[in-house]
Amino acid sequence: MAATSDEAAMARAVTLAARALGATATNPVVGAVVLDASGQPVGEGWHERLGGPHAEVVALAAAGDRASGGTMVVTLEPCAHTGRTGPCTEALLVAGIARVVYAVPDAAEGAGGAAVLRTAGLDVTGGVLAEEAARGNEAWLLAQRLHRPFVTWKTATTLDGRIAAADGSSRWITGPAARADAHLLRGQVDAILVGAGTVLTDDPRLTVRDVGGAPAGRQPLRVVADRRGQVKQTARVHDETAPTLITAAPDPAALLAALFGRDVRHVLLEGGATLAGSFVAAGLVDRVVAYVAPALLGAGPAVLTGIGIATIGDAVRLRIDDVTLIGPDVRITARPESR
């Protein structure tokens, strides 16, 4: 049987890492694959939750004695410090791993694992599928670098950019498949953010639900920007389904700083148009996920207001990463060209 290439094993590790999106809090998502001495996969794993075993340890446990003399393929440089768990470098040495292949250098306090392993005589290679692995971990990497959460702005609009009709009705602009996909997106973040106006108008739950409407086991923090104290205790965001924070933070930067202090690393900004405009104007939107329905309204509130652009030359330009048809609707994933 042909040996598994480093790239193929890393692609599998990236897929494994994605299983933990939204579940690792301040930790990165990491996937790992162990190849035996002949290059065959014999163990794999991912870091499932904060405080749980790291991906390398899980993969080594699955491989057992077959790891000796083999290769560890992992999406993030192995850590070299003792935190909630022991250093992965030590686990690799004890298991007799001869070679380590990683994608992205560690940006946290445990950095330096590659140097430790090289000093111990292991063959270490970095940068394999680095772009793919970094994209999967982009929220954590940005938070490490900028000390604020990564912000994804999620929208659901008609083809002419309306989020509701002139009479205020908005259920539903997009179809069931797009709404189900949006719940998967909610499940990958640490917090869901809306403005007070959205709560007053729509009274949303802001929870992660399955296709049958049942709440998921893990729920992100619900955050409502409400500087005027307009949201009442009877609003559905105050039910017991998920934790809720009502904040009077004066601006987007202050709000993100407060959330970072609460260990939030990825925020899903869902509305409304004024709150979204303040984030766009401040340059604090890192990614846009837009669900667009093939419908026209011609009137009604727009998806974005208040960013102060009067001429086409000042438009915020985005780079499209992906376009996917979901039922009758289209999901567009894009990010500012400066990102």
Q: How many CB atoms lie within 10 A of CB 293?
A: 20
What amino acid occupies position 267? V
Q: How many CB atoms lie within 10 A of CB 94?
A: 11
Question: Which helix (H) or strand (E) is 139 found in, with range?
Answer: helix 138-146
Cα-Cα-Cα-Cα torsion 176, 181, 184, 185, nearest 10 degrees, comes to -130
- Distance, in Å, from the CA atom of 46 to the CA atom of 258, rounded to the nearest integer, reads 29
User: For residue 151, which phi and psi values (nearest 5 degrees)?
Assistant: -120, 120
The verdict on whether omega for the bond into residue 69 sits within 30 degrees of 0, i.e. cis, is: no
CA-nearest of 72, 106, 113 to 89 is 113
Q: Is 147 helix (H, G, I), strand (E, B) or coil?
A: coil
What is the C-alpha end-to-end distance of the chain, expressed in Å? 42
Beta pairing class for 150-158 and 287-293: parallel
Residues in the chain: 339
Question: Which helix (H) or strand (E) is 299 found in, with range?
Answer: none
Give the C-alpha distances (Å, rounded to integers) separating 198 from 3, 119, 170, 201. Answer: 54, 56, 12, 5
> Which of the residues 7, 48, 56, 109 is marked catalytic?
56
Q: Please, are residues 30 and 76 in contact by the beta-carbon 8 Å criterion?
A: yes
Quick check: is 77 catalytic? no
Q: Please, are residues 104 and 140 in contact by the beta-carbon 8 Å criterion?
A: no
Q: What's the alpha-carbon Rg for the chain, to the nearest Å? A: 22
- Catalytic sites, residue numbers: 56
